[in-house]
Amino acid sequence: MEACYRSCLAIAQSEQFSRVASPAIATGIYGFPSEIAGRIALTAVTRHLAGHDFPEQVIFICFDLATLQAYEVALAQ
């Protein structure tokens, strides 16, 4: 999952996309725990943004309230 974020962010960097949006990967039909997915997503994005100019903004798409709350908890940590 983290590799997916890294690949997408690398494309955004090389194409100089100012914004990208990402779904909560694997948390829907595949049932991956939102809490873990949020930590993975935010760690990968934070690491990328610390060393690159693009994208300038990353938008996470959360499919339900539970996923949103899991991502908010991960963001607060």
User: At 68, phi and psi to the nearest 5?
Assistant: -60, -45
Predicted confidence at residue 77, as pLDDT, reads 86
Predicted confidence at residue 28, as pLDDT, reads 85
Calpha distance 70→76 (Å, rounded): 10
Domain spans of the chain, in order of start: 2-76
Predicted confidence at residue 13, as pLDDT, reads 98
| Structure-token pair, residue 2 | 């983290």
For the chain, the distance separating the N- and C-terminal CA atoms, rounded to the nearest angstrom, is 20
- pTM above threshold 0.75: yes
According to the CATH classification, is domain 2-76 in 3.40.50.300?
no
Q: What's the chain's Rg over C-alpha atoms?
A: 12
Walk along the chain (77 residues) in steps of 10 and give the mean pLDDT of each run: 95 98 91 94 96 97 94 93
Predicted confidence at residue 65, as pLDDT, reads 94
